[in-house]
Structure 1
Amino acid sequence: MDGGAIDGGWYLDVLGFARATPWLHGFFQVFTNAGLVLLALVVAFVWWRARRRDAGRMAAVLWVPIAVGLAYGLSNLVKILVEEPRPCIRFPAVPTVATCDFATDYSFPSNHVTIAVSAAVALLLVGRRAGLASLAVAVLIGFSRVYLGAHYVHDVLAGAVLGAGVALIGLLLRAPLTALVIRLRAGRCRPLVGAAALEGKRVLGSR
């Protein structure tokens, strides 16, 4: 697939903005990966707190890494099927903030964005504050991927749609995940998922 024919103009516009804002280069070069670490820390935090909450809340937290793993796997499958070259290959004469050392990997969709959005939307099923904060991080990660020259805009949008779609499957898994947590709390996994006495009436996505 020739990504440049889809929205190459937008990609070049963002790179033009990047060349005009050298003071942002360092931030986005760090944040593009550090943002994923930040999201992992948010997941760890909400998991720690959910250990003291009802089974429904822990079920929602349990879904986050599952959703991320599924979304990441699907993203890589789509990359193999579509085989879209990186934009730095399509526009070799255009300088990018990041070096083109990721050129051996396909571009569509963005794995970074797929992971970030799947985590953020899944976290929305846990709680509004954690979810909205994570979505803000995901948006910045998405912009950074184009800003650095790693992806086209449509790569980012596709990753967001894929990640959100997978995460929302959690709405269909409320009862089985909650039942699983209740069983785990009665067994050896109790230290990880909380005490059996905390079995609650709420389910995945409750507030």
Structure 2
Amino acid sequence: MALNLFDQFMSPTLMGIPLMALALVLPWILFPTPSSRWLNNRLLTLQEWFIKRFTHQLMLPLNVGGHKWALMLTSLMLFLLSINLMGLLPYTFTPTTQLSLNMGLAVPFWLATVIIGMRNQPTVALGHLLPEGTPAPLIPVLIIIETISLFIRPLALGVRLTANLTAGHLLIQLTASAAFILAPMMPTISILTTTVLFLLTLLEVAVAMIQAYVFVLLVSLYLQENV
């Protein structure tokens, strides 16, 4: 039973060819492209408003040096948001339920922020490993603890996104299976279970959006410490 539940998280294949690349590229095709006209339609206007508001809020606490990351972080947010939401549709695959993909996104972004900090302000970057006013006997222990916490950051980024989406998908599948099985035996309980399923789906839509935002927000906070 457990294997059947987790089959939905296996990378889809067609004649032995992995379709992960198609699942990653497809969301970008669905975004409306800006036209050359001066007056856009409502969809393009809403899309541009959302991108501008999100970029403004994301770049607000960052120094001027971190504003170079605006395009990259906004693109990452739209990428994760579209993949997470499309994964809730029936007969689809969510690439962000794969830890390998999330770690492939988390590690380079985290490493880039660390390299920027070590290059631009090495004293401040190394100063984060030792809080000011630490007693001398605790200095080696705190340096080890802060170093471990620094290297755990990308793992926390990837595992957080994977665990939240995987848990939500499993809850939806378990609740849907219960509603389907109970329908011929206990219709009333099945209707109640279907109501819970609908609420869970709304919750998972919110989780999909929130986790995409949290991933990008944490990357911007790591960047804020190093610029």
Could you tell me the TM-score, scaled by structure 1's length? 0.28
Question: Between Structure 1 and Structure 2, whose CA radius of gyration is higher?
Answer: 2
Instruction: Name the structure, 1 or 2, with higher relative contact order (CA <8 Å, separation 6+).
Output: 1
Greater helix share, structure number: 2
Could you tell me the TM-score, scaled by structure 2's length? 0.26
